[in-house]
Structure 1
Amino acid sequence: MVAAALVTALAIAAVALAWSKWVPYLHKAVTLSGTHTWKGSSILAVGGVHASNAPSWHAATSFASAYFELVWRALVAALLISAAVSAFVPGSWVARVMNRRTKVGSAAVGGLMSTPSLMCTCCTAPVAATLRREGAGTAAVVAYWLGNPLLNPAVLVFLGFVAPWQWVVTRLAVGLVVVVGGSALVGRLVERDAEQRPAAVPADASRPVDGTWLAGAPRRFVLTLLRLGLILVPEYLVVVLAVGAVRGWLFPVGESGFVHAGVLVVIVAAVVGTLVVIPTGGEIPIVAGLAALGLSLGGVGALLLTLPAVSLPAMAMLVRSLGRRAVGAAAGVVALGGVLAGGLLTALG
């Protein structure tokens, strides 16, 4: 009975990912292997918005339109996978697989589980929220959330075709440190606040896994889709619009008087990169364009790590399930990882 339910969940996930990620990215990798050129410009420039432009409704809507055109398939897949986990996977099984004796072990499992789904930070958020609700610990959930964009095999392949090898090494090395070590640290920090924030309890922990449980799976599937669609998606849209509105202020590299190198630039890039929302692989044209405008290797490394890792919309979607402390700590770990990536890329040259 449980085996049939798990096979159903895996089948839904596999079909959704093949449609939204695996097949399209395979085609893109084949194309890049022949051209070694990334076609398309930075999503931050859509709608004719330039560096230092003031916030506007046009900037917000043009960005949101371009962004959702790129990620809608992945978002649909994420909602389907989230519903499948909630409906067909017993919460006790989620906790047993993802929660290990040590925080590092839990983070390693979460990071490993993230690699096949190839999602951006925002599309990962609904699945991460569901895993937390079904009993996965903070370290494992944060590692799954961060591992999707940072350890994304497709993006690493794309980088290998269009960028210097130092970029690939920096992204992978620091990404592993942030996903495993950083997520374990976040889990340990949150543990100190355990009295104020009770541990997650699987939604069906007290429910026997029998014929009644299996018969109720379709209803749970639909209810989860409705809950995620009515709660997460609207707040996701609002924050994406907000980020789009102010994007002209975020990367004024081309402006006169902007310092292109130095420690301050690395720090600013690391902080700004944690706020911006981009689609999978969207960091490649952004970072390449800024590098061409004179951004230092330190700034390039910081953005290469932080741009895909977290974003304001993803943080907004996860704050209810993980808590402000965990989400804030995860963002801080990513920002520090960005500084580390900037230093590593500078050293590699």
Structure 2
Amino acid sequence: MTSARPAQSPPSYGWPIFILLAVAGLFYVKWFPYYHRAFTAEETHSIGKSILMGGAASAPAPSFAAALDYAFAYGKAIWQAMVLGLLLGSAVQALLPVQWVARVLGRRGFGSVAAGGLLAVPGMMCTCCAAPVVVGLRARNASAGGAIAFWLGNSVLNPATLVFMGFVLGWQWSALRLTLGLLMVFGLGWLCNRFVTPEESRAADDRLAQFTQQQAEGGNVFVRWARIFARMAVRLVPEYIVLVLLLGAARAWLFPHIGPEVTSSLGWIVTFSVVGMLFVIPTAGEVPIIQAMLALGMGVGPAGALLMTLPPVSVPSFAMLAGSFRPRMLAIVGATVVLFGVVAGLATVALGF
């Protein structure tokens, strides 16, 4: 019994360091820039050019140059948030007591899903930058539903994006995003918790006991934090870069020529739902993408599909989380995101957007 006591009482500097990192990091990377960006959106009804193809009707032809151009533009937009995500994901494992994550996010009921979704709201990260934090949460026994709600909630329920969207696209788009986003984040989290088997729950409990013992053994917390950070960076970043390069090169294949011929038919809505789920964009990148495509005459149906499928998941984020969830769980997430895209596309048509 005495050997487990240190695991229940983390180092006195663990919590303050984690909170300081989270608050200072998010303020510098997200909250302060987005505060000023909201005034720009209100005044100009724009937050910049589409990262997908600028103002052109077609993406550049697949090439190494196209891959590098997109990777550079994307990396410039997200690198600070990615570093912060890696720092927070490793800090969850090194600075917080093992039992805390399991207590708040580890239960299979709706409470852990609600907690994950609510904790995601101030994060405002894109799907790939949130992924390292999700890796850290899962490593400390967060439930599948709680972790997925946190993952999706960062991008789908991002309050800054909803404000940008209202000023740039119209508040009806923000309302649709918020309504379907709440259903996606909390509904999908609840569904994923239902797919957890008793064997998986027992295995998670065994891992938690092992982590508790490791924390009880002590050691320098900063050395442990550095080791976890390095291990996560080496495992996650290279595959992430390769996949972003590939998607940047394949833009012309995933998104065809944009114009009035891209109508609000069911076929186009389904197509854009699938490619939107696969593609990767920075935080709020869907807003100028949709604005540019609508200006080129594309139907509102495919635009509605991108509204719900571009932000929450992508091929790189799926790859980064492949070791944290079973393949079937990630397949359920991807298919459900596509379904929400189809629903959003049909809703924009039915509501006369």
The normalised TM-score by structure 2 is: 0.90
Q: Which runs of 4+ in 1 moved over 6 A?
A: none
Distance 1:186 1:254, change over 3 A: same
Q: Which residue of 1 aligns with 2:51?
A: 43
| Displacement after TM superposition at 1:56 (Å) | 1.0
**1:110-121 counterparts in 2 under 5 A?**
110-121=116-127
Q: Which residue of 1 aligns with 2:5?
A: none
Q: Which residue of 2 aligns with 1:288?
A: 291
Query: Which residues of structure 2 form unaligned runs of 5+?
Result: 1-8
SS of residue matched to 1:261? coil
1:136 correspondence with 2:142 = yes
Q: Which stretch has the larger CA shift, 281-290 or 35-44?
A: 35-44
CA–CA separation in structure 2 for the residues paired with 1:208 and 1:60? 43
Post-superposition Cα deviations, 1:227-270, rounded to whole Å, max 9, x if no partner, equal 111110011001000100100112224368x4422111111111
| Displacement after TM superposition at 1:82 (Å) | 1.2
Q: Which residue of 2 aligns with 1:25?
A: 34
SS of residue matched to 1:76? helix
Distance 1:203 1:347, change over 3 A: farther
CA–CA separation in structure 2 for the residues paired with 1:171 and 1:98? 25
SS of residue matched to 1:309? coil
1:84 correspondence with 2:78 = no
Does the 8 Å CA contact 2:176/2:344 hold for their aligned counterparts?
A: yes
Post-superposition Cα deviations, 1:94-132, rounded to whole Å, max 9, x if no partner, equal 010112351x33221111110111100000000001100
CA–CA separation in structure 1 for the residues paired with 2:50 and 2:235? 29
Q: Which residue of 2 aligns with 1:272?
A: 275
Q: How many residues align?
A: 342
CA RMSD of aligned residues (A): 2.3
Q: Which stretch has the larger CA shift, 246-255 or 313-322?
A: 246-255
Distance 1:225 1:253, change over 3 A: same
1:66 correspondence with 2:73 = yes
Q: Which residue of 2 aligns with 1:307?
A: 310
| Displacement after TM superposition at 1:17 (Å) | 1.1
Which of 91, 95, 106 is matched with 2:112 structurally? 106
Does the 8 Å CA contact 1:16/1:80 hold for their aligned counterparts?
A: no
Distance 1:337 1:131, change over 3 A: same
The normalised TM-score by structure 1 is: 0.91
Which of 202, 216, 221 is matched with 1:217 structurally? 221
CA–CA separation in structure 2 for the residues paired with 1:193 and 1:122? 30
Distance 1:101 1:325, change over 3 A: closer
CA–CA separation in structure 1 for the residues paired with 2:70 and 2:118? 32
CA–CA separation in structure 1 for the residues paired with 2:60 and 2:296? 17
CA–CA separation in structure 2 for the residues paired with 1:98 and 1:233? 26
Q: What is the letter of the counterpart of residue 234 of structure 1?
A: P
| Displacement after TM superposition at 1:309 (Å) | 0.9
Distance 1:56 1:175, change over 3 A: same
Post-superposition Cα deviations, 1:286-344, rounded to whole Å, max 9, x if no partner, equal 11111122222221111011001100110000011112111111111111111121122
CA–CA separation in structure 1 for the residues paired with 2:111 and 2:200? 23
Q: What is the letter of the counterpart of residue 237 of structure 2?
A: V
Distance 1:171 1:316, change over 3 A: same
1:181 correspondence with 2:199 = no
